[in-house]
Amino acid sequence: MGHVFNPPPGWPKQPKGWLPPPGWQPDPSWPPPPPGWRLVLNTSEEHPSPPVQGEPTHGRRGKKSVSRGQVIGALFAVAGLVISLLAWLYPSRSDEPSTPQERAAYLAAADALCLEALGELQAVDTGDPEAAYTQQAAILQETLVAWSALEPPRQPDAELILPALSSLESMFLSINEFTALLTLGDMDQASAEFERYREHAAEFRRHSRSYGFTVCHSLGATAPPTTTGPTGGSNPRQEAIAQVCLETAVLAEAVNGDAAAEELGAHVAQIRETNLSQSEPDSMFHAVSNMVAAWEGYLALQDDPELTDDGQAFLATLRVVIDECNTRQ
């Protein structure tokens, strides 16, 4: 999970190990980076060497910072993250699996951090898209550092949880890169980076759910504050639909994973609230309304073997919502 700053031609070199934190913007007097230039490189990639000038690259990452104090604070944060991850890689525990009590205690501590982060993400003011992206990146970074500093369980557990932390880091880096590209006016690259963010979020949901987190995987269902930035202009209904589609993807994963009815019901309720937050009589609104009604019907009849359809109507309406999302990609 190593990353290095990759200054474009004509930019001053930065101290070794420096990474631009949220909010950073390049000096207007510096020349613009070549098309496709990555501001931050992943040293774990097969070909980590900097690209030649003007050569398009395939990857992600990039950031922004404002003051010397923010740079120093970011360096301390990165140093703390490295130290805490060393504890993950070399825990002073046996190679035996953790006990149920140890695992439950760790899950509760991590889910508490994620619950706090979800509350902060939902409170983000979307009036200024770039400021909202920067604020979300800062929340993800704080959560990543705090989560990494938790007392790790035994080695087998650490190896299962590290992929989730790595995916969360990728989400943070993608939001920063997206904001930087948006500021530079590179809308094509910004749109591509947003798609990478969604891929990282899907990976994070999968890894966190596989270990047993009941809250943390929801961080991967939280859309960036607005998804209309790359094309310009803010449309509240389109933002609500984008959030519905992310939450529906999480619901579909839960259905495929045979999640309990309580968890499925929580996802359906969240989708319903999002759909109603900016309601318009469009096809998505009706598709979600039908899905919610089918779910409520399933719950009402699930204990009656003569009347229940085992959720087939709900699954059919869920597929309709998924199709709606696919047509809006």
- Tens of pLDDT, residue by residue, the chain (329 residues): 467 778 888 788 877 777 776 667 777 778 877 777 777 776 654 444 444 444 444 444 444 444 444 444 554 555 455 445 545 554 545 567 788 888 889 989 998 998 898 888 878 776 777 788 888 888 988 998 898 888 777 777 888 888 888 888 888 888 888 888 878 877 778 878 888 888 888 888 888 888 888 888 777 766 554 444 444 445 677 778 888 888 888 888 888 877 888 888 888 988 888 888 766 777 888 889 889 888 988 888 777 777 777 788 889 999 999 888 887 76
Give the single-character DSSP code of 13: P
Question: Same domain, yes or no, for 251 and 327?
Answer: yes
Question: Does residue 264 fall inside a structural domain?
Answer: yes
Range of the domain at 183: 64-89+104-226
- If asked whether residues 220 and 77 sit together in one domain, one would say yes
Q: Are residues 169 and 246 in the same domain?
A: no
Domain assignment present for residue 2? The answer is no
Do 139 and 114 share a structural domain?
yes
Whether residues 212 and 120 share a domain: the answer is yes
pLDDT at 217: 79
Co-location of 219 and 252 in the same domain:
no
Whether residues 116 and 216 share a domain: the answer is: yes
Sign of the four-CA dihedral 51, 53, 59, 60: positive
| CA–CA distances in Å: residue 321 to residues 123, 275, 280, 294 | 26, 11, 15, 12
Global pTM? 0.51
* N residues, the chain: 329
Residue 262, judged by CB atoms within 10 A of its CB (0-12, 13-18, 19+), counts as exposed
Same domain for 209 and 265, yes or no, is: no
Strand partners, 122: none
153 in a structural domain: yes
Structural domain count of the chain: 2
Task: Assess whether 122 and 263 both reside in one domain.
Answer: no
Same domain, 69 and 186: yes
Q: Please, are residues 113 and 213 in contact by the beta-carbon 8 Å criterion?
A: no
Tell whether 110 and 220 lie within a shared domain: yes
Of 188, 203, 226, the residue that ends a domain is: 226
Q: How far is CA 90 from the centre of its chain?
A: 27
* pLDDT at position 318: 92
* DSSP one-letter code for 181: H
Residues 198 and 252 in one domain: no
Residue 16 falls within a domain, yes or no? Answer: no
Alpha-carbon distances of 67 from 21, 77, 130, 234, 301, rounded to whole Å: 10, 15, 17, 29, 60
